[in-house]
Amino acid sequence: MSSYKEESYDTYDDFLRPTPATLQSHRLPLHQSNHLQTVSLIHNEQLLEQHHIQRKLEHEHDQLREQQRQQQRRTADEKKDKWRSYIGDRKQRWVFGIFAVLVCLGLLLFFFIPRIPGVDWANENDLESFTANAGFQADYSTSPASFAFSANISIQVDSSSSWIPNKMTSLQATVLDLSSSEIIGTGGFPYNAISLPARGKRNVMIPISFLGTYTSTNSTTYGDVIRACTANSTSTLLPISLSLTFKIQGVIGTKIAKLQSTRTTCPVELELKT
């Protein structure tokens, strides 16, 4: 029995090249053997050419992909550099973000936080801010010393500093004789809300009930009212002080405003009660 002998080849051409053993086994004519070698060489060249073309295409494709990746990296780096040029590094970004939030909160508070309005007489000539309330009896007596009448006091509420509309509530007014500082009248709107415009002003007329009872006609307060509010008086001047208490929606606590005038005149003429 003949034994199998494995032969080794250095190249593919060596594999195709006929060996003495193969030539002896096939015993092909010489011209046929040359023809087979030529066909084999042509086929090998075609395979090698296709392989080179495929490798070239793969190389070009890899180069194109690498160029695309580099372009994407350059674009991303340019965006990062541009963004960093605006806000800096990470710490600066945190500082910038916190600062932006604080600015927004400050603007919100500035525009939306309620503000306390200003209060003044409704007219530049405060003589017109103290008017009679028609339809109510106005009289006085000497025994006991007393007076009673009703009048209106007009004030102007200035909400120009407020950027949003608001409401004034629990408005109460106290009128005092300016010379004696004694109370001569009270009034207001304790249960009603007064709407205030944004960036504007509003006149408010407050009904006041004037009442006073004294032990003697020699009372300073009684004398001031009677001299100003009776038919035989030589002067109708009744200097008064006005104290206001009120609340503003959105603002904690009760607010106080005070006005006074030495030019106000008594708006009524008191009749002696018989």
The predicted-structure confidence for 232-266, as pLDDT tens digits, reads as follows 888 889 999 999 999 999 899 999 999 999 888 89
Residue 13 located in a structural domain? no
Mean per-residue pLDDT, 81-93:
69
167 & 262 share domain: yes
Residue 32 located in a structural domain? no
226 & 152 share domain: yes
User: To the nearest whole percent, how much of the chain has pLDDT over 70?
Assistant: 82
Q: Residue 41: what pLDDT?
A: 74
52 & 128 share domain: no
260 & 128 share domain: yes
204 & 99 share domain: no
Higher pLDDT, 103 or 17: 103
Residue 92 located in a structural domain? yes
Residue 135 located in a structural domain? yes
Final residue before a domain boundary, out of 84, 112, 140: 112
Looking at residue 203, which CATH number applies to its domain?
Answer: 2.60.40
- CB-based burial label for 236 (10 Å; 0-12, 13-18, 19+): middle
125 & 107 share domain: no
107 & 154 share domain: no
Residue 23 located in a structural domain? no
How many domains is the chain partitioned into structurally? 2
172 & 210 share domain: yes
Mean per-residue pLDDT, 49-68:
85
pLDDT band at 1 (very low <50, low <70, confident <90, very high): very low
Final residue before a domain boundary, out of 112, 140, 159: 112
Mean per-residue pLDDT, 173-194:
94
Q: Is the pLDDT of residue 133 over 80?
A: yes
Residue 220 located in a structural domain? yes
75 & 144 share domain: no
Q: Residue 61: what pLDDT?
A: 86
Final residue before a domain boundary, out of 112, 141, 171: 112
Residue 6 located in a structural domain? no
Q: Is the pLDDT of residue 72 over 50?
A: yes
Q: Residue 49: what pLDDT?
A: 80
Mean per-residue pLDDT, 162-173:
94
92 & 168 share domain: no
185 & 249 share domain: yes
Q: Residue 211: what pLDDT?
A: 95
What is the domain extent for residue 265?
118-272
161 & 85 share domain: no
Instruction: Judge contact between 246 and 196, C-beta under 8 A.
Output: no
Predicted model pTM: 0.64
